[in-house]
Amino acid sequence: MFGLKSESILKLDEEYHELGDYAGKESRWCPGCGDNAILAATQKLCRDKQLAPEKTVFVSGIGCAARFPHYMGTYGFHGLHGRALPVAQGVKIRRPDLNVFVNMGDGDCCSIGTAHWIHAIRMNMKMVAMLHDNNIYGLTKNQASPTTPIGRNTATTPHGSLLKAMNPLTVTLGVTNVSFVAQVVEWIPDLLYKVIEQAFNHKGFAFVRILQRCPHFMPTLWDQLLANPDNLAVLDSENGVQLSDATAKVYKTRIAHDNSDLHAARQIASLEDKVPLGILYRDESVPTYDELKRPRRLHAPELAEAVLNKSFDRFGIFPNNAGPIGD
pLDDT tens track for 273-282? 999 999 999 9
Regarding the domain with residue range 19-313, which homologous superfamily does it belong to in the CATH classification?
A: Thiamin diphosphate (ThDP)-binding fold, Pyr/PP domains (3.40.50.970)
Quick one: pLDDT band at residue 293, thresholds 50, 70, 90? confident
Which sequence spans correspond to the domains of the chain?
Answer: 19-313
Q: What pLDDT was estimated at residue 215?
A: 95
| pLDDT at residue 155 in the model | 92
Q: Is the pLDDT of residue 320 over 70?
A: no
CA–CA separation, 208 and 136 (whole Å): 18
What is this structure's pTM? 0.87
End-to-end Cα, the chain, rounded Å: 40
DSSP at 295: -
Rounded Cα distance between 124 and 44, Å, is 25
Q: Count of residues for the chain?
A: 327
Q: In the Cβ-directed half-sphere of 225, how many Cα atoms lie within 13 Å?
A: 21
Contact residues for 285 (Cβ-Cβ < 8 A; gap 6+) = none
Q: How confident is the model at residue 12 (pLDDT cuts 50, 70, 90)?
A: very low
- Given a cut of 90, whether residue 317 has pLDDT beyond it is no
Residue 278 sits at the vertex; the CA angle it makes with 60 and 190, to the nearest 5 degrees, is 80
- pLDDT tens by residue, 71-93: 999 999 999 999 999 999 999 99
Pairing status of strand 180-185 against strand 275-282:
antiparallel
Quick one: 80 exposed, middle or buried, by C-beta within 10 A (0-12, 13-18, 19+)?
middle
What integer pLDDT is reported at residue 28 of this predicted model?
95
Q: What is the pLDDT of residues 202-254, one digit of tens each?
A: 999 999 999 999 999 999 999 999 999 999 999 999 889 999 999 999 999 99
Region of 262 (left: φ > 0; alpha: ψ -120 to 50; beta: rest) is: alpha
